[in-house]
Structure 1
Amino acid sequence: MSLQEKLDAFKADFESKAPKQAVEVMHRATAELIASGQAAQALKAGAVAPSFTLPEADGGSVASSDLLTRGPLVLSFYRGVWCPYCNIELAALQEAWPVMQATGAQLVSISPQSLANGRKAKIDKQIAFPMLSDAGGRVADAFGLRFRLPDDLIDLYRGFGVDLPLINEDRSWTLPMPARFVVGQDGIIAYAEVSPDYTRRPDPADLLPVLKRLQGSIAA
């Protein structure tokens, strides 16, 4: 089953059980974000990737410049441990990680959640690659991904017990749009996929042709 098939199955099950009004709020918020055109303004293939240094869930910090000395860099921006769609995606990335490694690539996930919540996600999903905490969403903002949730969605999340100011240690009620980037060792973005609809994510297998092409260019 593909990643999107797993996400679609979860969505269908959730929406069959959730209150109709809650589903309507979620759909409306997604439609508004799509209509805003923000995803089209995010960084695209051919742009220079912003460099960053972020703390990692297991301790210490990770610099993109250091990772790029080892090979191409896959960046996966996600919302947090509280998001079931993100957890399904993390599991799919972990499954695909050995194949990515075989191309010489590095992989990190980036979310605005606190380091404690990053550690929880890493343990729960048995993630082997670095999980980075982007406090305040500064790196997500540099990639053009950060947005503020609409007020009715904030109220809904609060009702569901999703307290983002507590989870992220940030009062802004902002999140990144889920996104996947591949950055070549020259610092240029070779692949970019941004999902203003958080229930839709590209399959990790979509990255392999890009990674193999970059691997070939290094060998040459």
Structure 2
Amino acid sequence: MSLQEKLTALKAHAEGTLLPPDVVEILHRATDELIASGAQDRALKAGDKAPVFTLPDADGNQVSSTELLKQGPLVVTFYRGVWCPYCNLDLEAQEEARAELEARGASLVAISQQNAVNSRKSHRQNNLGFPILVDQGGETGAAFGVRWNLPDYLQAVHKKLGADLTAFNGEDSWTLPMPARYVIDQNGIIAYAEVNADYTKRPEPSDLFAVLDQLKTQGAA
């Protein structure tokens, strides 16, 4: 089953069984409004220069995009947090593809605004072999153009569902990154970008194989 098939099944189960209709309506409204705002179209795209970042991993070690790019291309994934089941499926899918991505010379990092404790939980829960980086306040997400502000009515639903971002993220900005996947080449240029304002939709990790193969071919030329 593909990642998107798993996500679609999860959405059908959540909206058909787990969530009250009024909550489903509010979640749809928020997604529709974010899409209509054009936020995903303003995020960085393939061909743009990627922001340079240094962020702590879940254990407090500083991870530098500049240093990682010296080793090869960098796959960067922005996700919402350990409380998001769609994000957890996404992380699991990347872990399943990690060996093939690394065989193509790539390093992987995931970035969220959640605090170190919850990042460690994400790492452990999803059995990840790549680091989760802590982007407190979402400054790196903002540099990529993926950070957005949750409206008041959505904040209330998050609290009702047990996903109070002030607790998970350790700050009260009530911002999140739109789910996003980037491949950055060794010159710091974005070679692949997929950003979606609909958090139930994510690209397949296998989509990156051809991108990395092409970068390898270009590097050998």
Pick the TM interval, shorter chain.
over 0.9
Partner residue of 1:47?
Answer: 48
Instruction: Confirm or deny that 1:96 pairs with 2:97.
Output: yes
Partner residue of 1:87?
Answer: 88
- What residue identity is the alignment partner of 1:10? L
Q: Deviations over 1:111-146 (max 9, x none)?
A: 000011000110111100011000110000000011
Partner residue of 1:144?
Answer: 145
Shift of 1:39: 0.5
Partner residue of 1:2?
Answer: 2
Q: Deviations over 1:52-101 (max 9, x none)?
A: 00000133110000000000000000000000000000000000000000
Instruction: Name stretches of at least 5 consecutive residues in structure 1 with no aligned partner.
Output: none
- What residue identity is the alignment partner of 1:77? F
- Bigger drift between 90-99 and 54-63 goes to 54-63
Q: Distance in 1 between matches of 2:23 and 2:42?
A: 29
Shift of 1:219: 2.2
Partner residue of 2:59?
Answer: 58
Q: Distance in 1 between matches of 2:162 and 2:104?
A: 41
Q: Distance in 2 between matches of 1:49 and 1:201?
A: 20
Q: Distance in 2 between matches of 1:144 and 1:58?
A: 26
Aligned residues: 220
Q: Distance in 1 between matches of 2:156 and 2:70?
A: 44
Using structure 1 for the length normalisation, give the TM-score: 0.99
Q: Deviations over 1:3-60 (max 9, x none)?
A: 0000000000000121000000000000000000011010011100000000001331
Q: Distance in 2 between matches of 1:171 and 1:84?
A: 22
After superposing on structure 2, the runs of 4+ consecutive aligned residues of structure 1 that deviate more than 2 Å are none
Instruction: Name stretches of at least 5 consecutive residues in structure 2 with no aligned partner.
Output: none
Partner residue of 1:24?
Answer: 25
